[in-house]
Amino acid sequence: MSRRRAGVAALLLLALSQFAAAQAPRWDRNQPGETLEIALVTIGPGPVYWERFGHNAIAVRDTVSGRSVLYNYGMFDFGQVNFLLNFVRGRMQYQLVAQDAGADLASYELSGRRVGVQHLNLSPPQRVALRDFLEWNARPENAGYRYDYYLDNCSSRVRDALDQALEGLLAGASVGQPARTTFRRETRRLTAPVPWLYLGTHAGLGPTTDQPIDRWQAAFVPMTLQEIVRDIATADDDGRSIPLVAREERLQEATLPDPGAEPPAWRWRFATTGLVLAAGLLGLRALRWRRALALAAGCVWLVAGLGGALLLGLWLGTDHASAWRNQNVLLFNPLALALLPALVSLWKGRMAGRVPRVIALCIVLLAVAALLLKALPLEWQDNGDWIALWLPIHIALAAALVPRKG
């Protein structure tokens, strides 16, 4: 199945599962824990952009009747009032939905995603406590929650529910344990197969995503939570240490490429692109190809200006906390929009006025400031790629506005 067809299939199956899979009937609260099985279901990355981080859910199975319910914290409704506006403003509402496990898992399998199941060694009281909590949480009045990409998503909700049933066992094994990664690093790693998503998130994330995180925080990625659960030991009824995972199975291997273990090292690509574009701009000026220079400069200023305005809007006008204090506004600079009127002079081969030259110089100085910030004891931001791209381009365009001698 092609990636496009897989994406369309995933969308259709998601819509059908939301429409057709009604809320599962409630459990009998008197049912003993000995007849329940609890499993963590982990789904690998999918073809649609919001599926790139993977997914997970908790399955509860009645071993007597064979009934199995999947508790899924990753559901959202395009029909919500002001859905698009809330999405843009960072006020997304997700909800927990309890559905028939077979129908829900089939949709993931058909879209080519890896599906793994970890059957957990929970005591009967823990199984009952988890089932009762999930049932309470799935009620319409309790199901909704304010979604955050890193701090409160489908995987962190699953993590918290399991940790509550395990009386803090997950937190004890992961809080304060270095994950040797950051939110940005994980984002870059998982979005690398989708270039536009990779570039957009890499540019849009601020310095809060570059701080070291522990394994508890890293469990915002479902596959990381899967690894944490795999490494934990619990105790049986006699107090003996046993693995938390009783057994593990793969319902389906992935037909989609797996994300790499490390994010791509593309700084040389950014630097090479920046230097090539800068050399091209200076070459157009040297050859006196004024109209070609005007078109190239217009494209660069438009991208830089609109990109900077977007980053500034995310910082000042939304609840996307991961985009706040983004130093890339010094590189994707909104001031570039003020240079667009100078294109008329460049097009006609006239010398640009003093004001455009001053603005271009300010843009260069701000780009240099983005570089100098690395030497200051301030909040670190991993934006070296963007500095390598934009600094030579801004210098070249500022030089192109300097009057020629003779």
Give the model confidence (pLDDT) of 227-281 as tens digits: 999 999 998 888 889 999 999 999 888 777 788 889 999 999 999 999 999 999 9
Cβ distance 346 to 293 under 8 Å? yes
Residue 208 lies in a domain: no
Residue 125 tokens, joined: 């009281």
**174 lies in the same domain as 275:** no
Comparing C-alpha atoms, which of 258, 303, 353 is closest to residue 43? 258
CA-CA distance, 167 to 163, in Å (whole number)? 6
Instruction: With respect to residue 405, please indicate whether it lies within any of the assigned structural domains.
Output: no
Do 248 and 271 lie in one domain? The reply is no
Do 126 and 18 have their domain in common? Answer: yes
User: Is 308 part of any domain?
Assistant: yes
Query: Is 395 domain-assigned?
Result: yes
Q: Residue 177 is which amino acid?
A: Q
At which residue do the structure tokens 């929970």 appear?
122
Rounded to whole angstroms, how far apart are CA atoms 397 and 134? Answer: 58
Statement to judge: residues 383 and 290 lie in one domain: yes
Residues 232 and 352 in one domain: no
Can you tell me the mean pLDDT for 96-102? 90
CATH number, domain of 140, equals 3.90.1720
Mean pLDDT of 159-164: 98
Please indicate, yes or no, whether residues 107 and 233 belong to a single structural domain of this protein. Answer: yes
Mean pLDDT, all residues of the chain:
89
Tell me the CA distances in angstroms from 109 to 13, 53, 96, 258, 382, one per residue in order.
Answer: 10, 16, 21, 15, 36
Contact at 8 Å (CB) between 129 and 165?
yes
Domain assignment of residue 203, yes or no: no
User: CA angle, corner 370, sides to 366 and 375, nearest 5?
Assistant: 130
State residue 353's pLDDT score.
Answer: 83
> What range defines the domain where residue 330 resides?
267-400
| Domain membership flag for residue 202 | no
Tell me: do 30 and 168 sit in the same domain: yes
pLDDT higher than threshold 70 for residue 94: yes
pLDDT at 403 over 80: no
Give per-residue pLDDT as tens, 305-333. Answer: 999 999 999 999 999 999 999 999 999 99
Least confident piece of the model among 84-93, 105-114, 321-330: 105-114
Helix or strand holding residue 241 (H, E): strand 241-243
pLDDT at residue number 25: 58
Q: Is the pLDDT confidence value at 191 over 80?
A: yes
Same domain, yes or no: 248 and 272:
no
Rounded to two decimals, the pTM is 0.89
Tell me, what's the pLDDT at 344? 86
d(CA 108, CA 120): 21
385 in the same domain as 288: yes
**Of 187, 30, 19, 44, residue with least CA distance to 111:** 44
Coil, strand or helix at 78? coil
What is the tally of structural domains in the chain? 2
Domain check: are 235 and 328 in the same one? no
278 and 136 in one domain?
no
Question: Taking a C-beta distance cutoff of 8 angstroms, is the pair 259, 308 a contact?
Answer: no
355 alpha-carbon distance from chain centroid:
40
pLDDT band at residue 159 under the 50/70/90 scheme: very high
What's the confidence (pLDDT) of residue 112? Answer: 79
Residue 46 in this model has a pLDDT that exceeds 80: yes
Non-local CB neighbours of 166 within 8 Å, separated by 6+ positions = 122, 126, 234, 244
User: Do 222 and 345 belong to one domain?
Assistant: no
Q: Which residues of 97-121 are buried (b: 16+ CB within 10 A; e: fewer)?
A: bbbbbeebbebbeebbbbbbbbbbb
Share of the chain above pLDDT 90, in %: 69
Residue type for 390, please?
Answer: W
